[in-house]
Amino acid sequence: MQKADKGKTYYNQDAATVLKHVQSQTEGLSNDEAQKRLEQNGRNALAEGKRKTKLQRFLDQFKDFMIIVLLVAALISGIVAREWADAAIILAVVLINAIMGVIQESKAEEAIDALKEMATPEAHVRRNGSVQTISSEDLVVGDIVRLEAGDVVPADMRLLETASLKIEESALTGESVPVEKDAGTIDETDVALGDRTNMAFMNSNVTYGRATGVVVGTGMQTQVGQIAGMLNSAEETTTPLQDNLNSLGKTLTILILVIAAIMFVVGFLRGDASWIDMLLVSISLAVAAIPEGLPAIVTIILALGTQKMAKRNALVRKLPAVETLGSTDIIASDKTGTLTMNQMTVEKVYTHGQLQAAKAEIAPENLTLRIMTMANDTQIQEDGKLVGDPTETALVQYGFDHDFDVRDAVAAEPRVAELPFDSDRKLMSTVHQLKDGRFFVAVKGAPDQLLKRVTKVEVNGQVQTMTSDQANDILDVNNNLAKDALRVLAMAYKILEHKPTEITSENLENDLIFAGLVGMIDPERPEAKAAVEKAKSAGIRPIMITGDHQVTAEAIAGRLGIIEPGDDAAVITGAQLDEMDDQTFDQNVEKYSVYARVSPEHKVRIVKAWQSKQKVVAMTGDGVNDAPALKSADIGVGMGITGTEVSKGASDMVLADDNFATIVVAVEEGRKVFANIQKSIQYLLSANLGEVLTLFLMTLMGWDILKPVQLLWINLVTDTFPAIALGVEPTEPGIMDRKPRGRNSNFFSGGVASSVLYQGILEGVLTLGVYLWGINFPLHSGAEAVHADALTMAYATLGLIQLFHAFNVKSIHQSLFTIHPFANKAFNWAILASFVLLGVTIAVPGFNSLFHVTHLALSQWSAVLVAGIAMLVIVEIVKFVQRRMGKA
């Protein structure tokens, strides 16, 4: 016995052909045959993807080029230069960064585990001619399985017999309401997953009726198994932040190594020092130039961002996801449960010849209201919770919202008989005994089917024979409601003197009196429309991707503002997408904003088509079917409440409130995080450029140079604290009015590169200026003392000038005095702490020998202070000129 073909289209084969293909029969398999197939084809379980150990994840953190160079520098500092303190600090920074990365990514492989846990623990299977209850993992192709309301479908099945069967498949297909199933053969080919009404798929839920079916796919051969396979094989994408950091690290380290090599060669050829001394000088330059704290600072800024986002219901699973949303060009959003409530709701009621909104008042004795709630199998629990088919619970909820309690109605007029819903009749009828001894027959169902059985209508309290004009008016109302993507049910009734001896459709569902129509929809979230509008104003394009029908998807998208109402050219179905090759689709992808009736493979294809245009794509979703696209997108956003564990496991970020508006909040936070990282990078690189320039020119001029421990202390104290504090700067005004940066942007865009260049040069020039001032205007005699004082002044200036400069980079172009310079309390404390830690190395006895510095007089401190203030003033002047020239 071979495995059932994964791509076999069993839906367009009759039951006998399917049974023959899987070598089974309606009595089921024997236990021996089932065991044989189980041994041959394996258990009905999902295969695990290849996993990384924690050690592998830890080692992955050291693949960054800048980290490797830092490790080499630490090694040389310790072994060659004997600067073990320098080496220890560098190693500590690198290790902290690696540990934080492992912690954040420790749950990256949860998606497949969640898929496995979703499998139903038991199945009712017919073997040896009798029904047995077995573990679902023991099912094999050819087993005959019985399904009832409340069951989870244990494998992919071709239905053989059905009785009023409805299956909820939203987690697999995106369909917002349960699908009516029957065992009939579908004559069409290439039928979308959601339209295969004679199939039941693994992990979907039976909400109504019963059925038997033959297993045609188990484990990885099921639709869910195909999704698991896609998750296993999906490539991990790097975020723009990771790309930028990697690019920045490589560029900086290569540039620094080139400069260090030039210094080594120039110094060695001049004969001023031995090659060992020049090697130590080059190492000092690398220590000064490489922003060894940058990875840790970016990690800390991202971690602080995750805390802020968590308070606003956006839970980040991977740190780079904080920033990625800020660069998003496209938000590809699942409709059901994300843009909509995932809860059927009555929206329109047509009664007494009038169409009214659901919020309008309706009398308790209104027959439309009574019928919709009494011809209804919804279970009302003690706490008021409604359990049952979503369409029927929506009708009962409508009654509750209008002070009509169906429990009281049924108690007064109890149900004495019923005719359950049938997919052929598309009707449901219940019989209730009235207080006067007569019987009230309540019928609800599809309007086209119900109107065939209606002969009368009530007008102004009088029952009349229905005219053709009245019937046409009702059909017009029905058609208009359907065009608005409402699911329409019709209500009718009649009163019998005696209860029929046989409860059949012929006895109950004829000669009916029309009562009204009810239009329902899975409504859009109240805040979703404003969120879509805000996303558009931020230059982000919302895309709706759903398994629902085209009419429903188009209507919801129009109501939300994703497309203009009636713009069907912006809507494409999965079937139409299948007809396009990749090249044609890539050329036309920008035309479409709504994708209806799509499969998981379509979603991944849509995401990749946008990515091929260098767009940063965020994908939101809550179902199993969303998981591959969530993993393929630049950032996957799962739903925390309605989302499956699979979708959450495959996501980079989870919305705790399932609120589309929270995504826009996260975008704003992501943009702020990127802007603050830019500020930190501008601060760090301009400071390090100043250090490199100072050290380089000192070396070329044959002057005394700053010691590695001095440079490392400046980097650790005056770089780290202010850089982290810049990471929590408040959001600059107008940040959501800017266009997305996109995939090709980097940390140097928006004027950062030029600012780093001229500000770094300025820092170096001012520092060397103070050094020369100390040499030319000494307070002590003796060459050694003069040079010691000048070097100490240069050390103090290089540190203090960076603290003044930190105020400059609070905004790249805006004036310091227009952005509330002291609003960030963390920044204020960071500057104060850095100043104290820098000052104690000079002013407090005992530190002088450790840091190779001397005590400075007041006049010498004044020169240092003037340089710091000059840095602040000059940068403000440059920013003023840039704004006047329109370059800001």
Using the structure block, give the residue that is written with the tokens 């398999």. Answer: 29
Instruction: Please answer whether residues 567 and 553 qualify as being in contact, where contact means their C-beta atoms are separated by less than 8 angstroms.
Output: no
Strand partners for 637: 620, 653
Q: CB-hemisphere CA count at 13 Å for 732?
A: 24
Q: CB-hemisphere CA count at 13 Å for 504?
A: 4
* Total Cβ atoms within 10 A of residue 236: 7
Largest CA distance in the chain: 125
334 is catalytic: yes
The Cα–Cα gap between 631 and 634 comes to: 8
As given in the structure block, the two tokens for residue 522 are: 């899975």
pLDDT at 163: 84
Spans of the chain below 50 pLDDT: 1-2, 6-7, 104, 107-120
Instruction: Please answer whether residues 525 and 180 qualify as being in contact, where contact means their C-beta atoms are separated by less than 8 angstroms.
Output: no
- Nearest Cα neighbor of 186 from 163, 208, 159, 213 is 159
Give SS3 for 740: coil
The Cα–Cα gap between 598 and 306 comes to: 33
Nearest-Å Rg of the Cα atoms of the chain is 36
The Cα–Cα gap between 775 and 778 comes to: 6
pLDDT digits (tens, 9 = 90+) for 643-681: 766 677 778 888 888 778 888 888 888 888 888 888 888
Give SS3 for 630: helix
The beta strands (E) that lie in 434-481 are given as 439-445, 454-459, 462-465
Instruction: Please answer whether residues 305 and 299 qualify as being in contact, where contact means their C-beta atoms are separated by less than 8 angstroms.
Output: no
The Cα–Cα gap between 253 and 692 comes to: 13
Question: Which one is catalytic: 151, 156, 182, 334?
Answer: 334
State the DSSP H helix or E strand holding residue 404, giving kind and residue range, or none if neither. Answer: none
Strand order in the sheet with 653-655: 314-316, 653-655, 635-639, 617-621, 330-334, 541-545, 594-596, 571-573
pLDDT at 104: 44
Q: How many residues does the chain have?
A: 888
The Cα–Cα gap between 412 and 433 comes to: 9
The Cα–Cα gap between 84 and 491 comes to: 85
Instruction: Give every CB contact of residue 133 below 8 A, 6+ residues apart in sequence.
Output: 122, 123, 124, 125
CATH code of 10-48+113-226, in short, is 2.70.150.10
Phi, psi for 3 (deg, rounded to 5): -65, 150
The beta strands (E) that lie in 25-100 are given as none
pLDDT at 1: 43
Instruction: Please answer whether residues 167 and 181 qualify as being in contact, where contact means their C-beta atoms are separated by less than 8 angstroms.
Output: yes
State the DSSP H helix or E strand holding residue 411, giving kind and residue range, or none if neither. Answer: helix 406-412
Give SS3 for 365: coil
pTM beyond 0.75: the answer is no
Annotation: CATH topology of 65-96+239-313+666-884? Calcium-transporting ATPase, transmembrane domain (1.20.1110)
Cα 537 off chain centre by: 20
Using the structure block, give the residue that is written with the tokens 């869910």. Answer: 224
* Total Cβ atoms within 10 A of residue 205: 17
Instruction: Please answer whether residues 536 and 561 qualify as being in contact, where contact means their C-beta atoms are separated by less than 8 angstroms.
Output: yes
Helical H segments across 234-330, by residue range: 240-270, 275-289, 294-311, 321-324
Instruction: Please answer whether residues 686 and 755 qualify as being in contact, where contact means their C-beta atoms are separated by less than 8 angstroms.
Output: yes
- Nearest Cα neighbor of 144 from 183, 173, 178, 115 is 183
Cα 811 off chain centre by: 30
Using the structure block, give the residue that is written with the tokens 């002088």. Answer: 848
Instruction: Please answer whether residues 437 and 487 qualify as being in contact, where contact means their C-beta atoms are separated by less than 8 angstroms.
Output: no
The Cα–Cα gap between 876 and 872 comes to: 6
Inter-axis angle of helices 752-776 and 783-808, nearest 10 = 150
Strand partners for 135: 122
Give SS3 for 884: helix
The DSSP result for 95-147, as a single string, is HHHHHHHHHHHTTTTHHHHHHHHTS-SEEEEEETTEEEEEEGGG--TT-EEEE
pLDDT at 119: 41
Angle at 726 between CA 722 and CA 732, to 5 degrees: 155
- Nearest Cα neighbor of 68 from 300, 295, 278 is 295
CATH superfamily of 329-341+525-658: HAD superfamily/HAD-like (3.40.50.1000)
- Asked if domains 65-96+239-313+666-884 and 345-521 share a fold, the reply is no
* Total Cβ atoms within 10 A of residue 755: 23
Instruction: Give every CB contact of residue 615 below 8 A, 6+ residues apart in sequence.
Output: 329, 330, 742, 743
- Produce one character per residue of 243-265: b if its CB has 16 or more CB atoms within 10 Å, e if not: ebbeebbeebbeebbebbeebbe
CATH code of 345-521, in short, is 3.40.1110.10
Alpha-carbon torsion (747, 748, 750, 755), positive or negative:
positive
SS (H, E, C) 289-307: HCCCCHHHHHHHHHHHHHH
Task: Give residue limits of the domains in the chain.
Answer: 10-48+113-226, 65-96+239-313+666-884, 329-341+525-658, 345-521
Instruction: Please answer whether residues 234 and 240 qualify as being in contact, where contact means their C-beta atoms are separated by less than 8 angstroms.
Output: no
Residue type for position 414: P
C-alpha dist (Å) from residue 195 to 169, 575, 604, 675: 11, 12, 20, 47
* Total Cβ atoms within 10 A of residue 242: 16
pLDDT at 710: 77
Instruction: Please answer whether residues 621 and 338 qualify as being in contact, where contact means their C-beta atoms are separated by less than 8 angstroms.
Output: yes
The Cα–Cα gap between 683 and 677 comes to: 10
